[in-house]
Amino acid sequence: MSAALPPEMIGRARHLMRALDRAALAVIHPDGAWPYASLVLVAVAHDLAPILLISQLAEHTKAIAADAKVALLFDGTAGIEKPLTGPRLSVLGRAQRSDDARLAARYLARHPDAALYAGFKDFAFYRVAIERAHLVAGFGAIHWIEAAALAPPPAPALEQAEAEIVAHMNQDHGEALDLYAGRLLGLAGEGWRMTGLDADGLDLRRLGQVARLDFEAPVGTAAEARRALVSLAGKARGLS
């Protein structure tokens, strides 16, 4: 049962979903004869629900219209010499069209180029309501996780403050963002921007590269998030 899972396994599954900006989407093809898989760009809501922006003309969208059941594979094995020892997470759920402006904003912050076509009539946002997930964290570390165990605790105050905090960090604290990326994550380059903030950590982007930095402990309010960001900046400066 997922309740018996070590907390670090739940955390690893959440991190994998939040860190990756793409996934393999599997659907049940309308012809009923075959499953169908495709590559999609993805963002993740505060409650961990995957967010998709897909065309109504695409095969996977036609399939969702006929049967909302989907699976998303988040593959964290890139760059690992022995890929089967790396983590991956299959998320099972039901995809439904969404007009929630907050979900759209979170997706477009993660994928700014998508703004070019997000307003097209044949494109729409979808939210995947998770039912369960299957984590493979390496040989012998295989677990089913129910949706209730996977979802983080609600943090409505932080969700409301996210846009303001992200804008403030990008406008006034670009140096700190570069420190996060360079000294805490070992990533090259300057000009990193924050694209999202949630109870578990923050999302960064530079050109086409994305990165994830987790907090040392979950936060639930804007004040707690600011303290965590200051603490990370101090830690990064101490690594000079």
Fold agreement (2-150, 156-237) = no
pLDDT for 2 equals 42
**CATH fold for the domain made of 156-237:** Split barrel-like (3.20.180)
Q: How far, in Å, CA of 57 to CA of 124, rounded?
A: 11
pLDDT for 179 equals 97
pLDDT for 139 equals 76
Q: How far, in Å, CA of 62 to CA of 59, rounded?
A: 5
pLDDT for 30 equals 85
Global pTM reads 0.93
Nearest to 153 by CA among 101, 102, 224, 204: 224
The full set of domain ranges for the chain reads: 2-150, 156-237
Q: How far, in Å, CA of 93 to CA of 128, rounded?
A: 6
Regions of the chain where pLDDT drops below 50: 1-3
pLDDT for 1 equals 41
Assess if CATH 1.10.1270.20 describes domain 2-150: no
pLDDT digits (tens, 9 = 90+) for 119-165: 999 999 999 999 999 999 877 789 999 999 999 999 999 999 999 99
pLDDT for 240 equals 65
